[in-house]
Amino acid sequence: MNMDFKRKLPTPKEVKEMFPLPSELQKIKLQNDEEIQAIIRGDSNKLLLIIGPCSADREDAVLE
């Protein structure tokens, strides 16, 4: 296969370095991560929905 790369995509680490998350948002992310882990472990009775961006362009479609 012959490929010609125009530019290299940044790695996730490089993106994090280019756009650091403010400490306030880091705390929110950690809380969300803990809540998601609790759902996956079965420690929470909440429902976790994972919806891709292509199916979440309209709220009515997501709710359907």
Average pLDDT in the chain:
87
Q: Which residues contact 48 (CB under 8 A, 6 or more apart)?
A: 36, 39, 40
Q: Which residue has the higher pLDDT, 42 or 59?
A: 42
Distance CA 48, CA 39 (A): 7
This prediction's pTM: 0.58
CA distances from 19 to 5, 10, 13, 22, 47 (A): 24, 12, 10, 9, 31
Mind listing the pLDDT tens digit for each residue in 6-37?
788 899 999 999 999 999 999 999 999 999 99
Four-CA torsion 10, 14, 20, 23, nearest 10 degrees? 120
DSSP 7: S
